[in-house]
Structure 1
Amino acid sequence: MVLLETGKHWQGSVLGSVNPDIASERQTASFSVEKLTARLDGSVEQTRMRRAVAEAIECDPEFSRENQYFQSQNERYEAAVRKGVHLQKKMREMGWAEDGPEYKYIYRALSGDVAFLLHRIFMRSISVLGSEKQVTKWIPLASQYRLIGSYAQTELGHGTYLQGLETTAVFDSSTQEFILNTPKISAMKWWPGDSITAGDIGPKMNFEHTDNGYLMLQNVRVPRENMLNKFCEVRPDGTYLRRGSQQINYFTMTTVRISLISDEVVTPLMKACTIAIRYSVVRRQSKLQPGEQEAKILDYQTQQEKLLPQLATAYAFHFINDYLQELFNRAYRDIQRKNFDTLPELHASSSGFKALVTQHCTSGVEICLRACGGHGYSLLSGLPSLYTKILASCIYEGENTILLLQTARFLIKSFMAASSGQPVPPSVTYLAAVKPRKCPAKNKLDFLSPDIYTEAYEHTAVRLISSTAAKLQDLIQSGVKKHDAWNQCTVQLAQAAKAHCHYITVKNFAETVERLETKAGIQKIMKHLCDLFALHGIFSNAGVFLHDGYLSGAQMDMVTASYLDLLPVIRKDAVPLVDAFDFSDKSLNSALGSYDGQVYQRFYEWAQKSPTNTQMNPAYEKYLKPLLHNTLSKL
């Protein structure tokens, strides 16, 4: 095996050489790939630790994903359980603790196909919502897998609407137990993962490695002391007692959403960009100029316009994940001191960003897949499994439309408070500011100023929030009941929530770039990506920015010109920018996206592993042979 050095990282080529078309892309990088990788990880030490974890896992044959694309549902599930069990042994062997610094890198190294991931949510629920006594009792048992937790919220008839859940829990004071029952079919727990249940719910679009079942409860008795009671409890006489905000009960969901954005959503988009961009510099097709060789497809403006905004989006959402993590840490510190004031902002932000990020990343992965043409449709490209898996993120942990409306409720409340001079949380202080009604840009270069485009996003968010608040008030004042008025505004409310989250993403990206060191060329290329992300958003949603005349038609032409001018600039660094994500070939598991760019050879080699190539297909003997024999005999 030939080893290729990338900074301090070594990538392997089983085929022995690097495709010159991809090698040339790395020779002209305008920045230090290694330093950008360290910035994305948080530090040089974090990068070193992540690579050490990845190497330990990838060198262990028990974690191999080599034949994953040829496995049946049962084989994938069995492999996931085997890996889950082996991981516990591996962690002991390596000295990795459940709460240790290495843990966050293990999931990335495993690339998801491992059992007991919901067990982590079970443990987190106990840690956050359980009393000291409960944590002391159950966490050691759960850590040693002497008990395995499941997650059984969703019912056949209800999901996100928690108040509509039909499972009953009746408290029996004589035995100090809750009696749980499933009163009808729609109350049956549906989708609980990793549990020993009454049955499997059948095939899914992906997640064949997860054991999703259905669960029926018939007079199941649970002791009173098993109710997580750090913030609420049922007393022996049946009295319900709450301590602090009711929203604390949703805190586990909030933490899951934030970790979901990082692990399940942004990472697949980064991988899809890596695969599609690497493939686009080794795939040659048609001629840009007569007499020349066929062009790299990334040299075509249309291919750049498909892929480079997705690359910019991946970086934007990586930085928004940092923003959310900071917000979460602040809220968690407050909760530890029994201060619940930060919870509404955290809940609204995690809801809105979960919706925005999953929607954009899912769309981005699909664009990457389609940009690879027919080869992208092959499972061996690694793109279909990224897409079918990320698509689920738009549905679980809260369906996106409902989450946007939860964010909108917070925004309307904040807008009303700001309008009357009351204090509002940090993320929405802009609702109280008075800004100019027209964009001051005079030429296309003005639109490369973060102040200019950030203000355009801010203006649009304020306009959508304020106009929807006004419509709500008008409806209520005209005699429409509150809930009916709300329902008549939900399309605009969701639009306002998206605009708010998009604005915060642009603002956060611009502020992150401003804080970066100027050396090693990183700030310059990140500024280009930030500009591209912002201008792509305006270019793609022109109507929203033109609506009230904040931008003129002439200014929209300037936006378009600046946006298109950025494409060839970023295209020069496209391969180094995906290299900085630092995914190993084993992690990508893609015949199209390997570091060495040897696409066609790898595709052919992998295809040879298909069981169909070594087994006689029964369809031939059963149907085709008689058909051919019959036809030939007539001839």
Structure 2
Amino acid sequence: MEDLARERAQATFDVNAMRILWAGGEEAFHFHNKLASLVAADPVFLKENKPRLTRKELFLGGISKAARCRELAIELGLSEGDARTLRTLRDDRAYDDLHWNMFVPVLRTQATPEQQRKWLPLATSMAIIGCYAQTELGHGSNVQGLETTATFDPSTDEFILNSPTLTSTKWWPGGLGKVATHAIVHARLILEKDYGVHAFIVQIRSLEDHKPLTTITVGDIGVKFGNGGNNSVDNGFLQFNHTRIPRTNLLMRMAIVTREGKYVRQNVPKQILYGGMIAAREIILMEASLNLSRAVTIAVRYSAVRRQFGLDDGSREIQVLDYITQQQKLFPLLATAYAFRIAGQWMELLYSEVMSQFESNDFSGLAEIHACTSGLKAITTSVTADAIEQCRKACGGHGYLCSSGLPELFAAYIPAFTYEGDNTLLFIQVGKFIIKTILNMRRSPIPQGTVEYLTDIDIHTTKCCEVSQDDDWSNSNVILDAFKARAARLALSLSKRIQNFRNQDDGFEELSIDLVKVAEAHCQLIVLSNIALVLH
């Protein structure tokens, strides 16, 4: 470890300050270290033999670690946010991820105050264990295409849930296969007509003996990709055979169904139905920086101790890290980890602010938070998945060994590209949001938040680059202006082309590749803008 010690001693920056920046403040840094020390010293969290475990052993290990996290959270009196930090340190996904990351947030955003008083104490005490059953075998990102039905029976004041086709089988929810007692189920609400997809809370297993209820078929979908990976999670399937639930199990913040079977729309936007996904994407953004940091740490440390080739004078071989090509591979990824961390910290604050607004029925920030979480989820997971593999390849043959940690990290992370929204579709959604913002600027309020730069779109699209020498690029404002100009020019150009179509949707479909490019430029600008704020 002599090489590592020497590299650390040669640091030209304040290492402790960087640690504090990463943690989000000095207090957060010390608290994180305290939790990390607890986890490192606890035998429940040992993972030395993980590559040799069977699927059953992985699953049982995940249960044990989740249970221990819960015990520690209670013993230490941790807030939900601090308990989430603790769960990230266990290095294993488990059944409780969806409970805390989606089930509980959905109750907070989509249930009425009366429903919250009933269900939240049960959920937060884990007297019930929840999952999020939206995706079906036949439909994922196309939420409006879901086939599961919930038909109201006025004679009993109940909804009857049914899985009318094989493709309507709920598929993939973590925690569903073996553990969850309840699920947030997305189904088509049927009265005298089809009112589209709504969220319901449904009990799926007995609280007495944990057996599935009689009209429910539920189980585990099987082994997933990778040696380990997400196989500690019981991703499941779910079918309903005329399952009856009380009318009041419809989450009614968006719409109420009265005892007489009348549908009453509430004064909230229908997009609140996706509140659970917004919560999950905010968490996914922070997880991107965490997983990328682990991969690049392994690769940089390996490169510092690995030596290959030498000088003609017979001296020691050269550290791989000293080769410019290796630096080119790894240093941008190291910087990206910090960039995503800073963006994630900003998103946590924005999410907290918007959730506070939701509590007072202020939904003005919904479109912004939806676009931000969608776009940043897409860009961070896409980059991170590729970066982990780049780190593995940068470690040569040793990176292919399970003992390097990189194959396991890659296998566990790559589903992030798909879950909670396919990245390509998310980019398209963000691209549409930006183009519509431009097209509506004359009759809508001045763009705020992350699209505020569009108010100066004429300046950004006509201004020339003022860089005259290489050193000018060390000015963060110069770089920021360049990214604004690129994002604005791509968006303005596409908005003009979209207007040539008689039907806007036809234009979006024909030019979807360009929508992705617009969204990527916009999301990169968001990340860079937050870095600039920290630098200043």
Assess same fold via TM > 0.5: yes
Instruction: Name the residue aligned to 1:614.
Output: none
| Counterpart check, 1:509 vs 2:508 | no
1:316-362 deviations in Å (ceiling 9; x for gaps): 11111122122212212222221111111110111111101111111
Native 8 Å contact 2:399 2:407 kept in 1 = yes
Instruction: Name the residue aligned to 1:22.
Output: 4
Instruction: Name the residue aligned to 1:12.
Output: none
1:10-42 deviations in Å (ceiling 9; x for gaps): xxxxxxxxx111110111222222232122222
Instruction: Name the residue aligned to 2:440.
Output: 417
* Matches for 1:155-166 after TM superposition, within 5 Å: 155-166=136-147
CA distance in 2, matches of 1:203, 1:445: 53
Native 8 Å contact 1:83 1:115 kept in 2 = no
Q: Give percent identity, aligned residues only.
A: 34
What displacement does 1:290 show? 4.4
Instruction: Name the residue aligned to 1:563.
Output: none
| Counterpart check, 1:58 vs 2:36 | no
| Counterpart check, 1:116 vs 2:66 | no
Most deviating of 111-120 and 456-465 = 111-120
CA distance in 1, matches of 2:422, 2:313: 51
Q: Please tell me the root mean square deviation across aligned C-alpha atoms, in Å.
A: 1.7
Aligned pair partner of 2:518 in 496, 501, 505? 496
The change in CA–CA distance for 1:290 and 1:504 in structure 2 (over 3 A counts) is farther
* Matches for 1:28-427 after TM superposition, within 5 Å: 28-92=10-74, 94-97=75-78, 99-100=79-80, 102-120=82-100, 121-195=102-176, 196=178, 198-205=218-225, 206-240=229-263, 241-263=265-287, 265-287=288-310, 290-418=313-441, 422-427=445-450
Native 8 Å contact 1:141 1:147 kept in 2 = yes
Native 8 Å contact 1:418 1:429 kept in 2 = no
1:127-172 deviations in Å (ceiling 9; x for gaps): 2222222222222222333221122111011001110001111111
Q: Which has the larger radius of gyration?
A: 1
Q: SS of the residue aligned with 2:172?
A: strand
What displacement does 1:495 show? 0.7
Q: SS of the residue aligned with 1:170?
A: strand
Q: SS of the residue aligned with 2:425?
A: helix
* AA at the equivalent of 1:177: E
CA distance in 1, matches of 2:128, 2:530: 42
CA distance in 2, matches of 1:250, 1:101: 21
CA distance in 2, matches of 1:419, 1:368: 47
Unaligned runs of 5+ in 2: 179-216
The change in CA–CA distance for 1:290 and 1:237 in structure 2 (over 3 A counts) is farther
What displacement does 1:278 show? 0.5
What displacement does 1:468 show? 1.1
The change in CA–CA distance for 1:123 and 1:507 in structure 2 (over 3 A counts) is closer
What displacement does 1:460 show? 1.0
1:473-509 deviations in Å (ceiling 9; x for gaps): 1122xxxx33322210100011100011112212221
Q: SS of the residue aligned with 2:236?
A: strand
The change in CA–CA distance for 1:439 and 1:242 in structure 2 (over 3 A counts) is same
1:606-634 deviations in Å (ceiling 9; x for gaps): xxxxxxxxxxxxxxxxxxxxxxxxxxxxx
The change in CA–CA distance for 1:288 and 1:173 in structure 2 (over 3 A counts) is farther
* AA at the equivalent of 1:106: L
Most deviating of 236-245 and 250-259 = 236-245
1:296-331 deviations in Å (ceiling 9; x for gaps): 001000000000000010011111112212221221
Instruction: Decide which structure has greater strand share.
Output: 2
Native 8 Å contact 2:296 2:330 kept in 1 = yes
* AA at the equivalent of 2:480: T
What displacement does 1:470 show? 1.0
CA distance in 1, matches of 2:248, 2:443: 46
Q: SS of the residue aligned with 2:161?
A: strand
* Matches for 1:548-627 after TM superposition, within 5 Å: none
Instruction: Name the residue aligned to 2:474.
Output: 448
What TM-score do the two structures reach when normalised by structure 1? 0.74
CA distance in 1, matches of 2:73, 2:349: 28
CA distance in 2, matches of 1:504, 1:56: 35
Most deviating of 335-344 and 304-313 = 335-344
| Counterpart check, 1:459 vs 2:485 | yes
The change in CA–CA distance for 1:60 and 1:193 in structure 2 (over 3 A counts) is same
1:350-379 deviations in Å (ceiling 9; x for gaps): 111110111111111111110000000111
Aligned pair partner of 1:470 in 476, 487, 496? 496
CA distance in 1, matches of 2:224, 2:262: 42
1:203-254 deviations in Å (ceiling 9; x for gaps): 2113100101211111011111112223432121222222311112211210
> Using CA pairs below 8 Å that are at least 6 residues apart, which structure has the higher relative contact order?
1
What displacement does 1:289 show? 5.6
Most deviating of 153-162 and 283-292 = 283-292
CA distance in 2, matches of 1:72, 1:280: 32
What displacement does 1:419 show? 5.4
Unaligned runs of 5+ in 1: 1-18, 515-635
What displacement does 1:295 show? 0.4
Native 8 Å contact 1:191 1:201 kept in 2 = yes
